[in-house]
Every structure is written in structure tokens, then in C-alpha cells.
Structure 1
Amino acid sequence: MNVWDYLESLKSRWRLVALVAIACIVAVAIWTWQSPRTYTASSTLLFDLQQSDPVAGGNGAAKASASVLGTQVDIIRSGVVAQRVAEKLGYDKDPDLIQRYRESGEQRIGLREWIGRRLVAPLEVVTTRTTNVLSLNYKSADPEKAAQLATAFAEAYVQTQLQLRIDPARVYSQWFRSQINEARDRLEQAQRRLSSFQQARGLVGAGRFDIEQAQLSELSQQMTTAQAETAQSRARANTSVGSSSSAQQSAVVQGLDGQIATKSAELSQLRQSLGPNHPLVVAAQAQVAELRARRGQAVGTVVDAVRTDSAAAAAREANLRGLVAAQRERVLRLASAQDEMAVLQRDVDSSRAAYDAVTARLNEVRLQSEIPQTNVSVLDRATAPTLPSSPDVALRLLLGIVGGVFAGILLALFLEWRRPRVRTIDGFERATGVPVLADLSRGSVHVGFAGKEASA
């Protein structure tokens, strides 16, 4: 038999092929009707991978979407999220689930963990390469339950993500509180050391060293002036009594000199006119001698005053010299203490800077632990599906039709192979070895002779 014989046999047995196909379709329909229906509900999550930080400020750096979303898929399917769903929906208080948990023999794990493992099994998380959206598909025989669990997993994940953001911030906040206490203690200790050192060295008050230096400079100037005055006083005191400039400049001495000069002139005239022994001449001589004695006393008084001033100037110079030496020694002590105080001041400044930094960081972390914000939000909440996702009726019917037709064809070909029949001219000639002269079953007559055919 050739191909045309098989094709003719299929044409002859088309009813058998159709019957087998219908039987397969009916069987698939019955199978589909009796198969348990599964409904799939979907909820979507939107991730903002460039969200700015409201506390630290600035825009968040763009992150690798694939790695971030892949991590979030693992978190969604984690036991923490599943246990949160079980707690939220009250499955951990369901008597039926509690009984099944006791009968399972898995008491080594907690009830919520046991329920969470069974809740997460039908969950499918689908990611896309071009968007920052995750789709949470949950399968269940109850469409309402599928929608409820899909939405519950999305909301539980958002809460878990927020908790994962807040919990570390709270831990850091507690740690920073302990650190700020230590930083405050270090700052207070540094300030106490600095204050004690300033009080011990007399450095209390701002600019104490500069004040002491200014005092030293002023005392040095006063001592220089006193040295010059002492030198002048000594020079005046060391001159002879008669040539003393102070005596010559004295008004008393100058007045007596004038009187002596006048009396001396009168005495000279009296001597010339009356003679040296005249009583008037003797009286004039006595007056001149008295004036000269008074002048000597006045000069002595002036010289004594000059010597007294010289001694006072020397004493003042010696006093200033002692004050300058003491002030210079004080300034040197303050200079050496200034270096030590600078070290202590740097300790205070560094302790204050550390305290301010820890305080600022504590405030920032405290705000982060109190702000209920995350970079993920529920985009779409799941709704109860109207059509089941499994079984796929259209696909099963298509497979039933194709499989039924294919099975009918195989059955028809098998029957033809078991009991072949002559259905074509070539098949008759091969079966009998006799050439066919005419085919009366068709509308035209085929005559064959020596491999040729004619039609009439």
C-alpha cells in the first residue's frame, strides 16, 4: 500500500476518526470538569530605588535594579513575612490549623512558622527586567482567599520592609545614647582638667597671658624712665655745691645773689668815700657777710634736696627692677604653662567635637527610627478572580481535539494495516498483477494499457 491508499482509507473511515475525536473531547471535558479549580490573584508592589532620604537629604544613588528586586523576592518569600501574614489573618488561632499542626508531628517548629511554610508555598513572585514592579501571584481553590492572601503578603512585606528599616535605626539610637553619655563624660573630664590647671597656674580668664605681657612691657618702660631720672639725679648730686645747676636755678639763691651784689656795690662805694673803718662800711660788711651765710644755707638746702631726689630715684629704680624681674619670671612661667594649657584646650575641643558629632548622629538616627517611610508601596491590591487559572479549559480542549483526531487517524491506519482493502487502481494492480482497463466507480472511465491511461 502506498500513501494514496492510506489517504483513501482515511476518507473511508472518517466517521471512525470523528467518533474517536469526539470521544477524546468528551473525556477531556469530563476530566476538566472533575479537576480541582485553582484561582490566581495578583497584587503588585512598586519600588522607588532613587527615593531621597528626608533626614540626611540628597537623592538616593541609583542601585542595580535586578539585584535589589532579587533580594526583595527572597524577603517576600521569607518566613518572617509569612508569619506576619498568619498573625494578621488570625490563622495561628484557627482550631482546624492548630489540630493539623498537632497531628503533623512537627512540633519542633513553632505554630506560626509551620503555618507560614504552608502559606508561602503557593506564592509566586514575578519580576520584570525593565520595571521596578513586583507581581505577587497567589494560587488557591478559593478566589476570595487567593485575593486575600495576595494582598496580605504585599502589605506584610511593606510592614516588614519598614520594620527592617526602623529596627536597626532604633538599635543604633540606643548605641548612640550610650556613646553620647561617654562623650559627655570625656568632655566634662577634659573641662575639669583645664579649669583645675587654670586655677592652679593663675590663668583664670581669657587673655591672661597677654595681660601679663602687657604689664611686663609697661613695667619695663617705667624702669627705663626711672633709670634715666636716677642718672640725672646722680649727676646733679655729684656736682660741687657752688656749681650745682639746681642751686644756681633756685629762686632763693638767685634772690640772695642779687642782694649780695647790691650790697657789695654799696660797700665798695662806701669804702671809697668813707674809708674802710667807717661804721657804715663796717655795717655794710656785716650785712654782706650775713647775706653770704644765708646763701650758703640756701645752697645746702638745695643740694640736700637734690641728693634726696637722687636717693628716691635710685630706690624707685631698684623697686621697678625687682617688679620687672618678678613679672618676667611670671611671664616665663605663664609661657610654659600656656603650652600645657593649649594641650588641655585641644583635648576639650576634640571632646566637644566628638560630643557634637555623636549628638547630631543620634538626632538623625532618632528621626530615621520615627519616620514611617519606606521605598516600596502597594501599587495594586488583589481582587477575587472570576475565572480559574487552572485547569486551562481552552488548552485542554485544544489538546483533546488534536489528540482525538490524531488517535482516530492512528486507529484508522491500524485497522487498514490489519485488514487492507483495494481502494485505488495502483493498489489493485499491485495486489492482482493485472492491469486495470477501466474504473467505473468514477464519473470518468480510466483505461490503462502498458503504463498509459486514456479518458473518455
Structure 2
Amino acid sequence: MNFSQILSILAARKGILSWVFLVTVTTTIIISLVLPKTYTATASLVIDSKGADPVTGFMLPATLMPGYMATQVDIIQSHNVALKVVDKLDVASSPLAKSQFEKATKGEGDIRDWYADLFLQNLDVHPSRESSVIEISYKGADPKFAASLANAFAQAYINTNLQLKIEPAKQAAIWFDQEIKGLRQNVEIAQQKLSAYQKEHGIASSDDRLDIETGRLNELSNQLVMAQAQTYDSTSRHSQLKRGVESEAPEVLANSLIQGLKSQLAQAQNKLMDVSQHLGNNHPQYQAAQAEVTNLRNLINAETAKTSSSVGQTARVSKQREGEIKAALAAQKEHVLKFKSERDEMAVLLREAESAQRIYDNALLRFGQTNMESKSGQTNIAILNPAVPPIKHSSPRITLNIFLSIILGMLLGTGIAIASEVLDRRVRSAEDLAQLIDLPMLADLNNTAKNAAGVLSKLRQIFKKKPSSEHTIPKYQLFAK
């Protein structure tokens, strides 16, 4: 079925098309006039999601903005917000509301939940795509009631948003308050342990005794090195004295008294040689000179023995001093190690006290912050435009309904006309006849200009003079149409 056939069908069945069209438009107009008028009141809210929180200083990232706005829309349309609206309007105590609830539910369920769901059915929330504005619309038969419901939902949403922000902070503040008590006890216990340990071992926090004791240890170590060198030197000289001639020892040669006695001995020996050349052995001068030489030799030997003995005594003293320094050094090492161990243990206790104090300070800081958040009455939502009672109704839209009914009536009329033609198919054009008898079409009298007019006039004359049978006339009529 082509377009020309459809046009011919619509032209033939224009009565059905007109009837369906008029019925559709008339019905739409009547229904639009009969339907109760509905008023839509809209309240606009602005959400400052890009600003920093006044307490925490937190700023919402730009990437989370779409999800944040969608979350706010879900909160507005939540059952919790609707319950706040019901409580704000005090619907549950209204006798009329109770009677409507009893009539609708027969007393089953909660009146608050029922009205909350009923209010949500007429609520419409539209977030802006490129701004932070949300529009809350409510539809109702009474414009004042619709405006009050829209404003009530806006205020309930602000209160719910503030509650969702405050309640976690309150719970956190309560938890921090309980935990801070235990953290304070931990700090006190750690401080007591540290103070008791310092008092027991006599260590102060700013004590520099470790440096002093370490300096003493280094000093003893240096003294031990010097004592060992001195002991080695004195022992070596004493050994040389024992192995060699004492008179040739460096200590003896360096002794001025011995060298002076040796000089006197040389002079006495020269004097004895001179006396022995002139006097005999029994001469008093000879004996006096010989006695002087003997006396000087005894003095030299005594001083040499004394010097050798002093070297040995020095070696023994050096060894004894070395031993004492070694013992003092070992004792000082043990004292320093013990003091280091005490300081290390005190450092552990000090770190524990500092850690407990740091945890307590952080918890106290978070407690103060959450406590401020729990008492904060500020929110990032503000009412931009409160809802006012609308003057004109939002539905039914008579003009729009008539326009749509015209389109619908034309579509329905066309569909019904075509359906009627399908049920009762008739020949309305040359194409229909060609399809019906399945033969090629030789000529179309409707589309022939002058020849067709002449042929038709002749056919009419023939039919007037000689009428044909009932089966013949419709065929000519079909061709003459």
C-alpha cells in the first residue's frame, strides 16, 4: 500500500477520520476541564559545596561534585526527611488526617509513615546540571498547602543535613571522651615509671654525667698508655743494668754526684801516684791519699748501687701504677657500660612517656574538634528562593492537551480508517484494480487529459441511451471515477 492509496482511503473514509478526531479532541477538552486543578510550588536551595568547612577546613574535591549533588537529592527524597515534614506540620494530631488515614488503611500501619509516603508521591526534586542549586517542587490541589509542603521539605532537608553532620561528631566526641580517660592514665603511669627509675638511679633528664664518665674513661686510657710506656722504659733500663756494668749505665753516667766523685777520685789517684813516688807505703801522707781514694771509690760504688736500686724501684713503681690504672680503667669501663645501660633503659621509658603523651595530645585535639563539630549549627545549605503559593495551576494544561489531542486524534483516525479498509477492502484506484485482477493496466482514464474527458462524455451518452447490466455498470463507473 503506497502513499496515494492511503490518501484515497482517507478521502473515502473521511467520515470515520473526522468522527474519531472530533471525539478525541472533545474528550480531551472535557477531561481537561473536569480534572481538578493542581498547583506546583517550588523552593530553591543553594549548596555551597566548594567552600571549606568552618570547623574542619575540609573542601570537597571537584571530581566528587556530581556524586555529592546526587546524594543530596536522595536525602531530600528520603523517608526520614518526609517524617520530619509530617512532624513539622503536626499531621498525626489532625482529626481530618486521622479520618483519611483510617479510611484509606483501615487503621493498619503508622499514620506518620503513611503520610510520609503520601507526601513523597507528589514531591519532585530537580538538581541543576551546571550549578549548585536544587529545586524542590510539590504538587497539590491547594496552592498554599503546596507552598507550605515545599518549604517544609526544604527546611527538613537542611535540618537532616545538619543532623547527619552533627550526629557522627557527637558519637565521635563521646568515644574520644571515654578514650581520653584511659590515655590520661597511660600517660600518668608512664611518667611515674620514668620518675621512679630516675630517682632510683639518680638520673636527671638533662644529666650530662655520661659525657663526664666517658671523659674519665678516655683520660684513664691515656694514662694507661703513658704508664705502660714508662714501665717499659724503666724495665728496659733495669734489665740493662742487670746485664751490663753499672758504672756504664746511662743513669750512672747521667748522675752528676757520681761524675763529681769520679772526678775527685781521679784527682786522688793522681795525688796517690805522686806520693807513692816519693814516700813509702807506711808514710802517713801515702796512707792518707790511699784512704781518700778508697773512700771515694766506696762512695762511687754506693751511689752507683743506689742509682741502680732507684731504677729498679722505678720499674716496680711503674708496674704497680700500670696495674692500678688498668684496674681503674676496667672499673670505669664497667661503670660507663652500666651507666649507658641505665640511660638506654631510661630512654625507653622516656620514649614510652613521650609516645603516650603524644597520643593523648592528638586524642585531646580530635576531641576538641569533634566536640566543636557536634555543637556546630552551621550548614552549607541556604534557601535561595522560598516557595510561594502559585497563582496559576500547573495541571491540567489545556492548551498542551488540546494540541496533543489533535495529533492523537489524527493518528487514531488514520489508524481506524486504515483498519476499516483492511477489514472491508474496496477498489479505489487503478493500482487497486491492477492488484485485484492481477493484469497489466493499459490506460488510466483519470490521468488522461483531453482524451479521457472525451471518452467519459461518450460513455455517459451510451449509458443514458442503453443502460447496461448491474455487473457492467460498476466496471464502467470504476474506470470513469
- 2:253 corresponds to 1:248: yes
Between the aligned partners of 2:386 and 2:275, the Cα distance in structure 1 is 149
Between the aligned partners of 1:400 and 1:311, the Cα distance in structure 2 is 134
Corresponding residue number in structure 1 for 2:331:
326
CA gap 1:6/1:380 in 2 versus in 1, 3 angstroms: same
Structure 1: give runs of 5+ residues left out of the alignment.
404-445
CA gap 1:3/1:275 in 2 versus in 1, 3 angstroms: closer
Alignment of 1:264-303 (within 5 A): 264-303=269-308
- 2:373 corresponds to 1:380: no
Residue-by-residue CA offset, 1:139-166 (whole Å, 9 max, x unaligned) = 3444334323312321321232122122
Secondary structure of 1:62 counterpart: helix
CA gap 1:266/1:144 in 2 versus in 1, 3 angstroms: same
Residue-by-residue CA offset, 1:180-229 (whole Å, 9 max, x unaligned) = 44344445544554565566667766787676555444423322321232
Stretch moving more, 378-387 or 68-77: 68-77
Residue-by-residue CA offset, 1:303-334 (whole Å, 9 max, x unaligned) = 45444433432321121121222234345556
CA gap 1:109/1:324 in 2 versus in 1, 3 angstroms: farther
Corresponding residue number in structure 2 for 1:169:
169
8 Å CA contact 1:53–1:59 kept in 2: the answer is no
Residue-by-residue CA offset, 1:60-82 (whole Å, 9 max, x unaligned) = 252383x6555434422345434
CA gap 1:364/1:61 in 2 versus in 1, 3 angstroms: farther
Corresponding residue number in structure 2 for 1:316:
321
CA gap 1:235/1:49 in 2 versus in 1, 3 angstroms: same
Shift of 1:232: 2.9
Between the aligned partners of 1:25 and 1:304, the Cα distance in structure 2 is 145
8 Å CA contact 1:43–1:136 kept in 2: the answer is yes
Corresponding residue number in structure 2 for 1:227:
228
Shift of 1:343: 6.0
Between the aligned partners of 1:402 and 1:308, the Cα distance in structure 2 is 138
- 2:58 corresponds to 1:62: no
Structure 2: give runs of 5+ residues left out of the alignment.
1-8, 409-459, 468-472
Secondary structure of 2:42 counterpart: strand
Corresponding residue number in structure 1 for 2:415:
none
Secondary structure of 2:135 counterpart: strand
CA gap 1:107/1:303 in 2 versus in 1, 3 angstroms: farther
- Comparing both structures, which one devotes a greater share of its residues to helix? 2
Between the aligned partners of 1:336 and 1:3, the Cα distance in structure 2 is 112
CA gap 1:225/1:27 in 2 versus in 1, 3 angstroms: closer
Residue-by-residue CA offset, 1:393-440 (whole Å, 9 max, x unaligned) = 54677899999xxxxxxxxxxxxxxxxxxxxxxxxxxxxxxxxxxxxx
Residue-by-residue CA offset, 1:26-63 (whole Å, 9 max, x unaligned) = 9779x65xx75432111133456666666365652523
Secondary structure of 1:139 counterpart: strand
Between the aligned partners of 2:252 and 2:108, the Cα distance in structure 1 is 124
Percent identity among equivalent residues?
33
Corresponding residue number in structure 1 for 2:434:
none
Residue-by-residue CA offset, 1:255-274 (whole Å, 9 max, x unaligned) = 22222222322232233244
Between the aligned partners of 2:175 and 2:73, the Cα distance in structure 1 is 31
Alignment of 1:68-147 (within 5 A): 68-85=68-85, 91-92=89-90, 97-100=93-96, 120=120, 122-126=122-126, 133-147=133-147
| Amino acid in the other structure paired with 1:271 | S
8 Å CA contact 1:28–1:396 kept in 2: the answer is no
CA gap 1:108/1:330 in 2 versus in 1, 3 angstroms: farther
Shift of 1:290: 3.8
Secondary structure of 2:137 counterpart: strand
RMSD: 5.2
Secondary structure of 2:75 counterpart: helix
Residue-by-residue CA offset, 1:321-379 (whole Å, 9 max, x unaligned) = 21222234345556766776676566556546645654565465456546655554434
Corresponding residue number in structure 1 for 2:152:
152
Between the aligned partners of 2:180 and 2:328, the Cα distance in structure 1 is 49
Secondary structure of 1:125 counterpart: strand
Stretch moving more, 41-50 or 394-403: 394-403
| Amino acid in the other structure paired with 1:124 | D
Secondary structure of 2:63 counterpart: coil
| Amino acid in the other structure paired with 2:224 | M
Between the aligned partners of 2:407 and 2:320, the Cα distance in structure 1 is 135
| Amino acid in the other structure paired with 2:139 | K
8 Å CA contact 1:187–1:348 kept in 2: the answer is yes
Between the aligned partners of 1:254 and 1:356, the Cα distance in structure 2 is 84
Between the aligned partners of 1:3 and 1:319, the Cα distance in structure 2 is 135
Corresponding residue number in structure 2 for 1:431:
none
Between the aligned partners of 1:220 and 1:72, the Cα distance in structure 2 is 78
Stretch moving more, 338-347 or 287-296: 338-347
Number of residue pairs matched by the alignment: 399
Shift of 1:173: 3.0
8 Å CA contact 2:29–2:401 kept in 1: the answer is no
CA gap 1:157/1:6 in 2 versus in 1, 3 angstroms: closer
Alignment of 1:180-259 (within 5 A): 180-190=180-190, 192-193=192-193, 215-237=216-238, 239=241, 242-259=247-264
Stretch moving more, 247-256 or 196-205: 196-205
Between the aligned partners of 2:391 and 2:60, the Cα distance in structure 1 is 43
Secondary structure of 1:134 counterpart: strand
Between the aligned partners of 1:177 and 1:332, the Cα distance in structure 2 is 44
Shift of 1:136: 1.2
Between the aligned partners of 1:300 and 1:336, the Cα distance in structure 2 is 54
Between the aligned partners of 1:399 and 1:154, the Cα distance in structure 2 is 34
8 Å CA contact 1:49–1:63 kept in 2: the answer is no
Secondary structure of 1:137 counterpart: strand
CA gap 1:7/1:86 in 2 versus in 1, 3 angstroms: closer
8 Å CA contact 1:223–1:320 kept in 2: the answer is yes
